[in-house]
Amino acid sequence: MDTSVHNIAALFAQLGLDNSKEGIENFVKNSVIAPNVSIENAEFWNVAQASFLADSLQEDSDWSEIIDQLDIMLRN
C-alpha cells in the first residue's frame, strides 16, 4: 500500500525539481503551457518527466489530482 504524500512539493520531488516553496513558485512563474498543449507535452519537461506525467494521467494514478492542480497553476 502506497502511503506517500501526494502534494505539489512531493510531485516536484518526484519530477526531480526543486520542491522548496521558492523553487515551485519560480518554476510556475517561468513555465507556462499554451492553451492547446497538454501538460505532458509542454516543452520544458525532459523525456522521463513527460513520461511520468502521461503515465500517471493515463492510469488515473494517485498523482493525477496533483498533476491536474499543477496544470491549472501553469496556465494562469
The CA distance from 36 to 18, in Å, is: 27
In 19-40, which positions are buried (b, 16+ CB within 10 angstroms) versus exposed (e)?
beeeebeebeeeeebeeeeebb
Give pLDDT tens digits for 10-69.
Answer: 999 999 999 999 999 999 999 999 999 999 999 999 999 999 999 999 999 999 999 999
CATH class of the structural domain 8-73: mainly alpha
Residues 48, 16, 24, CA angle at the centre, nearest 5°?
120
Three cell numbers, residue 67: 498533476
The structure's pTM equals 0.90
